[in-house]
Structure 1
C-alpha cells in the first residue's frame, strides 16, 4: 500500500496524544477526524488516479479537507 500524505498524525505530530484523547472524549472531534481521514483518502485516490475524478471535484474535496483540518486544529489548540 502506498503512503497517503496529509494524515493527521503527520500534520500535527506534536499533538498525537491530544488527538487520541479527544477521539475518546469528544464525539464531535472523533466525527471530524473520521471525516478528515475518509476525505483525505479520497483525495489521495483521485490524485493518484486510482479513482479519477474531474478537476472541479478534486479541488472541492481539497477545500473541504482544509476546512476540516482547520476545525480539528482549532479544537486541538483550544484552551
Structure 2
C-alpha cells in the first residue's frame, strides 16, 4: 500500500523490547536503524506526495530498505 509505514516496530511488534535494547546498547544497530528509518521516510514521502521519480529509483530505494531490514532482523535474532 502506498505510504504505508515500514518502521521496525510496525514490522516486528513482538520484538519491541529487543529493538529498544539493541538501539540503546549497540551503536551499529542504532546506525543501521537510523539509516533504515530515513529510507523508509524517503520512500513514503515519494509515494504520498507523488514526487516524480523514475520507477528504477523508487525500486532501488525499496531494495535498499529491504536489505537494511534483513540486516536489522538478523541482528535482532542473533
TM over 0.5: yes
Q: TM-score, normalization: structure 1?
A: 0.88
Matched, 1:37 2:61: no
Give the number of aligned pairs.
76
> Which 4+ runs in 1 deviate beyond 3 A?
none
Q: TM-score, normalization: structure 2?
A: 0.89
3-state SS of 1:48 partner: helix
Structure 2: distance between partners of 1:57 and 1:6: 18
The higher relative CO (CA closer than 8 Å, separation ≥ 6) is in 2
Deviation at 1:47, TM superposition (A): 1.1
Structure 2: distance between partners of 1:45 and 1:32: 20
Gaps of 5+ in 1: none
Instruction: Calculate the aligned-residue CA RMSD, in Å.
Output: 1.4
